[in-house]
Structure 1
């Protein structure tokens, strides 16, 4: 089955006049065939990115194993949507994420999900050729059953042929089997899915991958959002962080030393900070003092004690100037970041006792951001720091959502 999209062509070099050949496989809701047309969320993002580059492409629907062979034998330029796989890195390079999968274990009763040495010894079902099946093999938990349809997995679970199903939350939600509404579940991990671009294609077109990846943030569709239960877990965990810091003398001592706002001085310090981050080498003396302050050291100790739950932890004044940080931040001045500016506006409107701020971007629900450099799934949450009815600063936490949900099970 083939679906061809034609677009204007871009690049005066060897891609001009070319049509990219890609492979894929149906995997609702990311790749869906409706009335002979391939659509779905991953297809929308891919189409958007390649449209912005003014590139034509076509997609063949083939089994995943065939897609890999086609790339290895230079019959196609890439395939999607797949997760990172070291075995495939020998012949292809994964793009930045098109979509984000959220994997859960599903069972008929909660007791199955709480067994000792979980999931060792349990009969696991997965879709043949799926990301979940490949990952289970890597973990040393080979699936007991591999089937071609999600509905078949759920039927096997219902009649007791298997104990567990590992599946993407949204893929399983698209299944029609009624039993899915009654299943207990346990969070396992997030997985970023992208395009595996063939090395032979990337070698012929240097710079393509960076250009393609640069389009994806503006092409993303709803997905990678925190549902209500996940938001509650993050709020409960970070509220404990906030309560801890509100009781620390070092926090209030640092905020008491904040100097009057000076836009020119702040800009100069931010330039120095950015130059140090860009060029490396020894930081300016004032940066060393800031990062070695008693509050920064306490923040670093707290972050380390959270076993990976916090990827970022820092304090600013109400103008966004950095007061202390567990680790060096990308900027000294954070006042143009929503996690500070939006929180300050919200806090002043709500007054003491108001809500924290959760990162939303362009979405209605709080979002999860994928950090390609650290391969972490981050959501920012900020708390106002009030003292005697006066807003004194902002506590910003970058939460590793995957670790937070695992700890909150």
Structure 2
């Protein structure tokens, strides 16, 4: 991906934010999303940084392997199926979607990400880390394979029952389609 600079680089923030509020935020209270994050948060509560690093290394190795137990487990779950369906319904406006837990680990995704741990990246830190209602719209990048302009929008996900921030979602938005 190639970064886009100048005035155009910031013109996308409003339209991307509007698209996210209208089209993505309604998904975030769906029981499929909320329960998947809460289950993973509970299952991973005892993970330390060394455990997270090991899982991330396993994921990265699996992206190049034919045997992919961790990747296949995530791609087969109900949340990944939900995100894939939402991406398909978006008619090309959404280029990717993945949900992260309270440690920044992938919970579900529409396509394989290059790594499993997003917790060290702005997409997680500026959404989950910023608290309830946070939306972080990243720079516009040109996807060389599709020749489209894209931006990632990341949104904190809140448990509707408790109001607690439990995870985040990152969605690739086709800026050309706005």
Which deviations, in whole Å up to 9, do the C-alpha atoms of 1:14-63 show, x marking residues without a partner? xxxxxxxxxxxxxxxxxxxxxxxxxxxxxxxxxxxxxxxxxxxxxxxxxx
Contact 1:242-1:395 within 8 A present in 2 as well: no
Q: How far apart, in 2, do the equivalents of 1:254 and 1:385 lie?
A: 12
Match of 2:30 among 229, 243, 248: 248
**Alignment partner, residue 271 of structure 1:** 57
Task: Tell me: CA distance 1:251–1:221, structure 2 relative to 1, closer, same or farther (3 Å).
Answer: closer
Q: How far apart, in 1, do the equivalents of 2:6 and 2:129 lie?
A: 26
Match of 1:386 among 158, 164, 169: 158
**Alignment partner, residue 237 of structure 1:** 19
Cα RMSD (Å) of the superposition?
2.0
Contact 1:291-1:325 within 8 A present in 2 as well: yes
Equivalent residue pairs, number:
172
**Alignment partner, residue 67 of structure 2:** 282
Q: How far apart, in 1, do the equivalents of 2:84 and 2:137 lie?
A: 22
Which deviations, in whole Å up to 9, do the C-alpha atoms of 1:271-305 show, x marking residues without a partner? 1111122x34231x232111110110010011011
Contact 1:224-1:369 within 8 A present in 2 as well: no
Contact 2:126-2:134 within 8 A present in 1 as well: no
Which deviations, in whole Å up to 9, do the C-alpha atoms of 1:107-154 show, x marking residues without a partner? xxxxxxxxxxxxxxxxxxxxxxxxxxxxxxxxxxxxxxxxxxxxxxxx
Contact 2:148-2:174 within 8 A present in 1 as well: yes
Match of 1:398 among 166, 172, 178: 172
Gaps of 5+ in 2: none
Higher relative contact order (CA 8 A, sep 6+): 2
Gaps of 5+ in 1: 1-95, 98-216, 360-366
**Alignment partner, residue 307 of structure 1:** 91
Task: Tell me: CA distance 1:276–1:375, structure 2 relative to 1, closer, same or farther (3 Å).
Answer: farther
Question: Alignment partner of 1:398: what SS?
Answer: strand
Task: Tell me: CA distance 1:263–1:247, structure 2 relative to 1, closer, same or farther (3 Å).
Answer: same
Q: How far apart, in 1, do the equivalents of 2:149 and 2:125 lie?
A: 22
TM-score norm. by structure 2 comes to: 0.86
Contact 1:386-1:392 within 8 A present in 2 as well: yes
Q: How far apart, in 1, do the equivalents of 2:70 and 2:65 lie?
A: 16
Question: Alignment partner of 1:330: what SS?
Answer: coil
Give 1:307 shift. 0.9
Task: Tell me: CA distance 1:371–1:355, structure 2 relative to 1, closer, same or farther (3 Å).
Answer: same
1:323-342, aligned counterparts within 5 Å?
323-342=107-126
Q: How far apart, in 2, do the equivalents of 1:291 and 1:276 lie?
A: 13
Task: Tell me: CA distance 1:344–1:253, structure 2 relative to 1, closer, same or farther (3 Å).
Answer: closer
Give the structure with the higher percent helix.
2
Q: How far apart, in 1, do the equivalents of 2:148 and 2:65 lie?
A: 23
